[in-house]
Every structure is written in structure tokens, then in C-alpha cells.
């Protein structure tokens, strides 16, 4: 049994903040942010907007696009780094808000790679028949983990959510074809939150060695994409759209250049959304589906890299 995406959705907070607005209170400039990252604006969650409420809004859109209702769902996975509560899982909150049945619902923590991890886990669960219709969501309020005194990180992140409905299907021409997941815990000091439940009893704030992360990101992402394309017996020229993690335009450009792929085949939303961690890939996917770039039958390559380090890629026929 394969797994096909039957609907996508996304959600953004109401408040959009431009680089120029940030530059009014932080020692930075629109020019620096655009040149080094490609980011022009980000959405910042306000009162009442949380990871779970954004996830639920994205999920409702995805269900509607798939022609499904909450009653059809038998698995919910939320990829996130910034939960509403330390427990229970954000997925159970989404389940309650949607009024979904008492199906399995759990979170995946792989930071920016979380959605690719969640998709791969759901694909395996659908393949063995433990679910037939899954909601896979990436949702974050990363701006609540930011140190607004640290200009090297606070200009980079934004909030949002993206979701897909993934359904079991035996059409061999469609669906998830191959995926690869990796992690290297020795690199944790490069990108982490400096707090947590069992250490400081606080959430901590994001700390990042930007240049090091950048270097690893390009190397790891180019390699994992090459591997997953080879696993599927394809060539990079068979990829219609790369849907990358949206951390930095320069990382995306350098990665696809290594694969010999033209920039026209890359979905780029980092300018609008900034880095929304686990939400960035499904947000970009939904954006390109809704604006008509991604069409049924297209071969997609999803990839992401984040704290841990974690990284991975997933190939699918949409
Ligand atoms: O999603 C998880 C994965 N995360 C990423 O992929 C992020 C990876 N890293 C990056 O995207 C880039 O490394 C950054 C965007 C974080 C930084 O870009 P960079 O080209 O590596 O800049 P840099 O860290 O080498 O800093 C260059 C200069 C420094 O000044 P000096 O030491 O050369 O005088 C910084 O202090 O830019 C300065 N700088 C800033 N200036 C204005 C750093 N942040 C800012 C800022 N505004 N916000």
C-alpha cells in the first residue's frame, strides 16, 4: 500500500512584520537580512494564536481540499519544536479542536526536519495498514523561542503551520516513492535551545552557530537528495519541484546548484514566511499547490535540515 497526498492546507498568524519594522528596534537592516537570507518579512503569532491553533486551521484547510472530514482521520502527527504545553502532545490538542475520533495522535520532534520525519513515519504506518487516512502537520510558534537581543537569530524565524492529508492508495504511479532520514547528535551544540524541562525548567532560547549550520546544511541536503533520487532509480532531471526547508535562500540556491537543478524548479517562500522550522516545508508545499505551480502527477522532492542535527528528504509523485 502506498501513501498519496490528497489535500494540503496552511495557516499564518494575522500579524506580518517586515524587516524594516524589525530594524526600528534591533541593530539590523532590510539590506543585510535580504542579502544574507532572502527574508523580507515573517508572521508573528499574537495573543490566542498558538502552535495548536495554527495547526488546526491548516488541518481544516487540508481536510477540505481532500474532500474529507475530521471523522475520516485515523492518525494525527504534528511535527513541532514549540508546543503549546510540555505535554500533552500538540497532536491531541488538534484532535480535540477538530473533533476527530480517538485515533492515534502524537508529536514528532526533529526540529526543522520534523515534517519530513513525520511524513516518512506516516508512510510506513499506512504501508502496514495501521492507518488509512492521516493528518500530517508541521506547526510552529518559533518566535516564542527567540532571544530578541540576539540579532544573529531573531531576524530569521517566523510562525505558521502547514498540513497534508495522506491516504493509503495502491496506485503504484502515485505517492511517496522513497525517503531518507538522518541525525547526528554530536552536532547539537551548533543549533539548540539553551533550556528545557529536565534541565532548567524553562523553554530556553534558540542558539545557533550560523556559519557552521550553513556549511553542514548545503553538504547534508545535497547528499540526502542525491541518495533519495538514486534510491528511487531516478535522475535529478526527473524532479519537477524541489520543496525545500525555507531557512535561507543562499542555502537553497547552493543545494540545488550542487544537484544541477535550475532555480525555476524550486519552491521559494522564505522571502514571505522566513524560517518556520517544522512548518516551512508544508507551508511552501501548500503555497505552490494553491498558486497552481505544483500540479497532479508532478514529481516532488521535499528536504529539510535542522537542530540535532537532523536532516532528510522525501520523493513523491503528487
Ligand atoms: O533551520 C535551521 C537551519 N538554520 C539555518 O540554516 C541557518 C544557517 N545559517 C545562516 O543562514 C547564516 O549563517 C546566517 C543568516 C545566520 C548568517 O549569515 P552569514 O553570511 O553566515 O553571516 P555571519 O554570521 O558570518 O555574520 C556576518 C556579519 C557579522 O559581522 P562581522 O563580525 O563580520 O563584523 C555579524 O555580526 O553580519 C553581522 N550580523 C548582522 N548584521 C546585521 C549578524 N546578524 C546580523 C543582523 N543584522 N541581523
- Across residues 32-43, what is the average pLDDT? 98
Domain ranges of the chain: 2-169, 175-317
Lowest mean pLDDT among 139-153, 164-178, 180-194: 164-178
Counting residues of the chain whose pLDDT is more than 90, the rounded percentage is 98
Helix (H) or strand (E) run with residue 120 in it: helix 114-127
Q: Per-residue pLDDT for 193 more than 90?
A: yes
Looking at residue 103, its pLDDT comes to: 98
- Which residues form the pocket of ligand 1, taking CB atoms under 6 Å from any ligand atom? 28, 32, 36-37, 112, 151-152, 155, 210-211, 213-214, 217, 247-248, 251, 275, 306
Looking at residue 278, its pLDDT comes to: 98
Q: Per-residue pLDDT for 164 more than 90?
A: yes
- Across residues 117-142, what is the average pLDDT? 97
pLDDT tens by residue, 211-256: 999 999 999 999 999 999 999 999 999 999 999 999 999 999 999 9
Looking at residue 171, its pLDDT comes to: 87
Distances (CA, A) of 4 to 16, 149, 227, 301, 318: 33, 43, 21, 14, 7
Ligand 1 centroid to Cα of residue 136, in Å, is 32
Q: How confident is the model at residue 276 (pLDDT cuts 50, 70, 90)?
A: very high
Ligand 1 centroid to Cα of residue 101, in Å, is 45
Q: How confident is the model at residue 130 (pLDDT cuts 50, 70, 90)?
A: very high
CA diameter of the chain: 55
Q: Per-residue pLDDT for 1 more than 90?
A: no
- Across residues 27-53, what is the average pLDDT? 98
CATH tag, 2-169: 3.40.47.10
The closest of 229, 227, 249, 246 to 237, measured between CA atoms, is 229
**Under CATH, which architecture does the 175-317 domain have?**
3-Layer(aba) Sandwich (3.40)
Task: Determine if the peptide bond prior to 255 is cis (ω within 30°).
Answer: no
Ligand 1 centroid to Cα of residue 25, in Å, is 18
Q: Residue 177 and residue 299: Cα distance in Å, rounded?
A: 10
Q: Average pLDDT of the chain?
A: 97
Residue 92 main-chain phi, psi, to 5 deg = -75, -30
Amino acid at each position: 500500500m502506498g501513501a498519496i497526498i490528497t489535500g494540503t492546507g496552511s495557516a499564518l498568524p494575522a500579524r506580518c512584520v517586515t524587516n524594516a519594522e524589525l530594524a526600528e528596534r534591533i541593530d539590523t537592516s532590510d539590506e543585510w537580512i535580504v542579502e544574507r537570507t532572502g527574508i523580507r518579512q515573517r508572521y508573528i503569532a499574537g495573543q490566542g494564536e498558538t502552535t495548536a491553533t495554527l495547526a488546526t486551521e491548516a488541518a481544516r484547510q487540508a481536510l477540505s481540499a481532500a474532500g474529507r472530514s475530521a471523522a475520516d482521520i485515523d492518525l494525527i502527527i504534528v511535527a513541532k519544536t514549540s508546543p503549546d504545553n510540555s505535554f500533552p502532545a500538540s497532536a491531541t490538542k488538534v484532535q480535540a479542536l477538530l473533533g476527530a475520533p480517538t485515533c492515534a495522535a502524537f508529536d514528532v520532534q526533529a526540529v526543522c526536519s520534523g515534517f519530513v520525519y513525520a511524513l516518512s513515519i506516516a508512510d510506513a504506518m499506512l504501508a502496514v495498514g495501521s492507518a488509512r487516512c492521516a493528518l500530517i502537520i508541521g506547526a510552529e510558534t518559533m518566535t516564542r523561542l527567540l532571544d530578541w537581543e540576539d540579532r544573529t537569530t531573531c531576524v530569521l524565524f517566523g510562525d505558521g503551520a502547514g498540513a497534508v492529508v495522506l491516504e493509503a492508495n495502491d496506485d503504484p504511479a502515485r505517492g511517496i516513492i522513497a525517503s531518507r532520514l538522518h541525525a547526528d547528535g554530536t552536532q547539537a551544540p551548533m543549533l539548540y535551545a539553551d533550556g528545557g524541562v529536565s534541565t532548567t525548567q524553562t523553554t530556553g532560547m534558540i542558539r545557533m552557530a550560523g556559519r557552521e549550520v550553513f556549511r553542514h546544511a548545503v553538504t547534508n541536503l545535497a547528499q540526502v537528495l542525491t541518495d533519495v533520487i538514486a534510491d528511487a532509480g531516478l535522475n535529478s532531471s526527473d524532479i519537477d519541484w524541489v520543496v525545500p526547508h525555507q531557512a535561507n535562500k543562499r542555502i537553497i540556491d547552493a543545494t540545488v546548484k550542487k544537484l544541477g537543478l535550475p532555480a525555476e524548479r524550486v519552491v521559494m517562500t522564505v522571502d514571505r514566511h522566513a524560517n518556520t522550522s517544522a512548518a516551512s516545508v508544508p507551508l511552501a508545499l501548500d503555497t505552490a499547490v494553491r498558486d497552481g505551480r505544483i500540479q497532479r502527477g508532478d514529481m516532488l522532492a521535499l528536504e529539510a535540515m535542522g537542530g540535532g542535527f537532523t536532516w532528510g528528504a522525501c520523493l513523491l509523485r503528487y
